[in-house]
């Protein structure tokens, strides 16, 4: 029997930082919160609902949302985003505030790794842990995107032609998969069709994240104190695997999970690897709480035995 609490509670729009953002939650709000943040031009749909439900099944409260200029959230004129990277980080914190979540496990994919960096360094009090998926330090000497991915991304489509936009995004996703044996073109096309249909202004989605000011670059990954998991596909053609190693090495105490056969994506056949790893990584808060509760119970038991012993051996003193 399926637990209804694991399913979506429906998309909601909320006013944050003078913009309107769309979010969706899965699971019990009393459980540890996991905030999923996606990359450039990607709405929350790219954190698939089934994946969110699987994570929620591990006793987590899962939150996904549309960044500005994606999905149902506020859009700006094409080529003129009225925001910078730090504003997107503020939006993520605003989503947590709207849900009364004081601290969360932050999961960032691709471009949004920079959002995780800003939050992790500037707002460590809001972060239980960090997970970086398919992202990079952007450091010197790391390999560039492969020639195959550059050649595989087609010319920009006419935003007024929704069919052409869908074809463009599907072809781009296929190129970003790096020849992964797990790439499912049929499922990807269905997702993209839903995504394009619900997007406020697809013309803005296609360009604005690449046009905004990246004003968070002064932060240092070495300043992150939160427990950190780095997840990287060994087929990633956008940020080849050395980017994952470099990110792991840049963050004190970070660990690296290599997804065999994954490109610049998180394919469904590898969720059985990713989800348990994420649940284990985000167990710290729960384990600490259970340990504390266990200590309290043990202390109470010892106190009861001590008092009972006093009564048995000679009464109260």
Active site residue 264: yes
User: CA 130, 133, 134, 136: dihedral to nearest 10 degrees?
Assistant: 0
* Number of alpha helices (DSSP H) and beta strands (DSSP E) in the chain: 10, 8
Q: Exactly one of 110, 129, 134, 204 is catalytic; which is it?
A: 110
Active site residue 243: no
* CA distances in angstroms from 306 to 81, 273, 298, listed in the order given: 67, 48, 12
Asked if 13 and 22 count as a contact pair (C-beta separation under 8 A), the reply is: yes
Distance CA 122, CA 89 (A): 10
Q: Exactly one of 182, 209, 264, 281 is catalytic; which is it?
A: 264
308: tokens are 């009972």
Active site residue 236: yes
Asked if 121 and 220 count as a contact pair (C-beta separation under 8 A), the reply is: yes
> Which residues are CB-neighbours of 48 under 8 A, at least 6 positions away?
191, 268
**209: three-class secondary structure by DSSP:** helix
4: tokens are 């209804």
The CB-side HSE value for 113 (13 A sphere, CA atoms) comes to 25
Distance CA 275, CA 268 (A): 10
Q: Exactly one of 236, 243, 265, 281 is catalytic; which is it?
A: 236
Active-site residue list: 110, 236, 264
């Amino acid at each position: 029997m399926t637990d209804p609490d694991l399913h979506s509670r429906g998309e909601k729009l909320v006013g944050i930082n003078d913009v309107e953002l769309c979010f969706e939650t899965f699971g019990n709000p009393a459980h540890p919160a996991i905030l999923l943040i996606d990359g450039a031009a990607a709405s929350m749909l790219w954190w698939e609902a089934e994946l969110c439900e699987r994570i929620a099944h591990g006793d987590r409260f899962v939150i996904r949302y549309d960044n500005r200029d994606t999905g149902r959230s506020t859009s700006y004129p094409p080529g003129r985003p009225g925001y910078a990277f730090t504003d997107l980080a503020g939006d993520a914190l605003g989503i947590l505030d709207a849900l009364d979540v004081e601290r969360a496990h932050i999961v960032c994919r691709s471009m949004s790794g920079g959002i995780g960096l800003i939050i992790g360094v500037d707002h460590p009090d809001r972060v239980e842990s960090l997970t970086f998926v398919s992202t990079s330090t952007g450091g010197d000497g790391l390999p560039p995107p492969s020639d195959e991915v550059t050649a595989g991304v087609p010319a920009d489509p006419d935003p007024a032609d929704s069919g052409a936009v869908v074809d463009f995004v599907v072809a781009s996703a296929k190129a970003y998969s790096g020849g992964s044996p797990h790439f499912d073109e049929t499922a990807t096309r269905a997702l993209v069709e839903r995504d394009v249909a619900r997007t406020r202004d697809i013309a803005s989605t296609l360009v604005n994240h690449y046009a905004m000011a990246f004003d968070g670059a002064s932060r240092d990954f070495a300043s992150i104190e939160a427990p950190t998991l780095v997840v990287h596909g060994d087929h990633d053609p956008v940020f080849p695997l050395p980017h994952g190693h470099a990110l792991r090495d840049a963050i004190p105490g970070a660990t690296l999970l290599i997804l065999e056969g994954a490109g610049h994506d998180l394919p469904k056949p590898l969720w059985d690897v990713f989800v348990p790893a994420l649940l284990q990584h985000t167990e710290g808060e729960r384990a600490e709480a259970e340990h504390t509760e266990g200590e309290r119970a043990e202390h109470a038991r010892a106190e009861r035995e001590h008092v009972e012993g006093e009564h048995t051996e000679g009464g109260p003193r």
